[in-house]
């Protein structure tokens, strides 16, 4: 069979022939229909992810959608390197597979699950959003940020504030229903003041950025917060702006700020799996917030680093152009069975 194979960390994978997967006890072989490329996948393929792991060669792809030998459409939740989902077939523990609800097509599910799950888990498991609370999405213009706006509203947030850098993308994010926006341009003073004006009294921050934008957000919020003893739950989810943030210690003494992270190590595998099943069940009711570019796996080496339109997510389907057409047919067929 064929797979995408990374031979040097940080280099694009090559599409090449590899041995068929041999299932261990409890595992089944699944035919992969779609696997998305997103920051975590790139991070694993460059050896830079916080969970470690840099064995080579490796097949990238952390999750995806496949079909079992019984013909069932399934979500494959986690396949860590060196045996990722960017292969024609993968061996997966049978118990880990999650049925894809009818009406969802493989490519869309592969594209939305990572960004949507980042928000779902951060809101429900880590931030513990309660009906009517307000949420600041820091970094609302990316795939995860857009999903966070949608899911915060879906899960009962009373108000959502969207903060982002690109004005056009921020308008698009706001169109998902955000009540207020913060534009991350201008002087530090202006940005902090904008956070103070739009987000001073939020209950939860979903932080996809960290670094300077997070410093300015926390500064602006604390300077203008009406009641500093009202708990601010800061959920750290991503570091698109940079890996480090400087926080004066006094900020944690002058207000009730509770910081936690949401990532692979911050909840148990069982809880994460349960959350992913809940999210999958919710997906048919939600419009996709991710623009998808479908690419045959045979083109992965050139597609890996190629620029896509802003915000678009690459989803690889196995093989060449024939499979691209077949994936499109599959998507139509699955939609027609709703
Ligand atoms: N912990 C988890 O469970 C989890 C899951 C998924 C994602 N993540 C993390 O969340 C982050 C976003 O992921 P994604 O899937 O949304 O990625 P994405 O679709 O590639 O979007 C990245 C976003 O970050 C923004 N950005 C980059 N640098 C910025 C800066 N200096 N200031 C403001 N905005 C900046 C970009 O805005 P522009 O349009 O202005 O460039 C873009 O909107 C990544 O760090 C990712 O690793 C975490």
Tell which CATH classification among 3.40.50.720, 3.40.50.1000, 2.60.120.10, 1.10.390.10 matches the domain 128-261: 3.40.50.720
Does ligand 1 have an atom closer than 6 angstroms to the CB of 241?
yes
pLDDT higher than threshold 90 for residue 122: yes
329 pLDDT band, cuts 50/70/90, is low
- Domain spans in the chain, listed from the N-terminal domain onward: 2-105+294-336, 128-261
Q: Are the C-beta atoms of 90 and 21 separated by less than 8 Å?
A: yes
Give the closest residue (by CA) to ligand 1 atom 17: 142
pLDDT at position 46: 87
CB-facing half-sphere around the CA of 325: CA atoms within 13 A: 3
pLDDT at position 334: 47
Does ligand 1 have an atom closer than 6 angstroms to the CB of 80?
no
pLDDT at position 172: 92
What is the overall mean pLDDT for the chain? 92
Q: Within a 10 A sphere around the Cβ of 230, how many other Cβ atoms?
A: 12
pLDDT at position 78: 83
Residues 6+ apart with CB under 8 A from 63: 35, 36, 75, 76, 77, 78, 79, 85, 110, 113, 114
> What pLDDT, in 10s, does the model give residues 132-164?
999 999 999 999 999 999 999 999 999 999 999
Greater confidence, 146 or 323? 146
pLDDT at position 159: 98
Phi and psi for 91 in degrees, rounded to 5?
-95, 130
> What pLDDT, in 10s, does the model give residues 180-229?
999 999 999 999 999 999 999 999 999 999 999 999 999 999 999 999 99
Give the closest residue (by CA) to ligand 1 atom 36: 142
pLDDT at position 51: 64
> What pLDDT, in 10s, does the model give residues 67-77?
999 999 999 99
Give the closest residue (by CA) to ligand 1 atom 8: 238
337 pLDDT band, cuts 50/70/90, is very low
> What pLDDT, in 10s, does the model give residues 7-52?
999 899 999 999 999 999 999 999 999 999 999 999 888 887 666 6
Does ligand 1 have an atom closer than 6 angstroms to the CB of 214?
no
Give the closest residue (by CA) to ligand 1 atom 46: 238
Q: CA-CA-CA-CA torsion for 10, 15, 16, 21, nearest 10 degrees? A: 80
Q: CA-CA-CA-CA torsion for 173, 176, 181, 187, nearest 10 degrees? A: 0
- Distance of alpha carbon 316 from alpha carbon 318, whole angstroms: 7
Centre of ligand 1 from the C-alpha of residue 139, in Å: 6
Centre of ligand 1 from the C-alpha of residue 334, in Å: 30
DSSP state of 6: B
pLDDT higher than threshold 70 for residue 324: no
pLDDT higher than threshold 60 for residue 331: no
pLDDT at position 113: 97
Over pLDDT 70: what percentage of the chain? 92
Tell which CATH classification among 3.90.1150.10, 3.40.50.620, 3.30.200.20, 3.90.180.10 matches the domain 2-105+294-336: 3.90.180.10
336 pLDDT band, cuts 50/70/90, is very low
338 pLDDT band, cuts 50/70/90, is very low
Burial 35-70 (b: 16+ CB within 10 A, else e): bbbbbbbeebbebebeeeeeeeebbbbbbbbbbbee
80 pLDDT band, cuts 50/70/90, is confident
Centre of ligand 1 from the C-alpha of residue 27, in Å: 34
Give the position, in ligand 1's atom list, of the atom nearest the Cα of 146.
16
Q: Which of 333, 334, 299 is nearest to 317 (CA)?
A: 299
């Amino acid at each position: 069979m064929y797979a995408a194979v990374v031979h040097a960390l940080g280099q694009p994978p090559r599409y090449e022939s590899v041995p068929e997967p041999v299932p261990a006890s409890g595992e089944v072989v699944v035919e992969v229909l779609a696997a998305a490329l997103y920051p975590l996948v790139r991070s694993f393929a460059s050896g830079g992810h916080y969970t470690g792991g840099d064995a080579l060669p490796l097949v990238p792809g952390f999750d995806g959608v496949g079909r079992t030998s019984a013909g069932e459409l399934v979500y494959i939740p986690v396949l860590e390197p060196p045996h990722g989902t960017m292969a024609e077939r993968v061996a997966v523990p049978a118990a880990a597979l999650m049925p894809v609800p009818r009406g969802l097509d493989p490519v869309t599910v592969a594209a939305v699950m990572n960004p949507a799950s980042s928000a779902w888990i951060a809101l429900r498991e880590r931030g513990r959003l309660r009906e009517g609370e307000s949420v600041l999405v820091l970094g609302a213009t990316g795939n995860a940020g857009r999903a966070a706006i949608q899911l915060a509203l879906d899960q009962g947030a009373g108000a959502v504030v969207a903060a982002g850098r690109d004005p056009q993308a921020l308008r698009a994010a706001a169109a998902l229903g955000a009540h207020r926006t913060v534009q991350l341009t201008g002087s530090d003073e202006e940005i902090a003041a904008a956070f103070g004006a739009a987000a001073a009294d939020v209950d939860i921050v979903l932080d996809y950025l960290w670094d300077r934008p997070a410093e300015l957000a926390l500064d602006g919020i604390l300077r203008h917060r009406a009641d500093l003893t009202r708990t601010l739950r800061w959920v750290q989810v991503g570091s698109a702006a940079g890996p480090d943030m400087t926080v004066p210690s006094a900020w944690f003494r002058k207000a009730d700020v509770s910081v936690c992270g949401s990532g692979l190590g911050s909840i148990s595998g069982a809880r994460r799996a349960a959350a992913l099943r809940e999210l999958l069940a919710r997906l048919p009711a939600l419009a996709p917030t991710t623009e998808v570019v479908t690419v045959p796996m045979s083109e992965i080496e050139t597609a890996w680093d190629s620029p896509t339109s802003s915000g678009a997510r690459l989803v690889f389907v196995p093989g060449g152009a024939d499979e691209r057409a077949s994936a499109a047919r599959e998507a139509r067929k699955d939609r027609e069975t709703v």
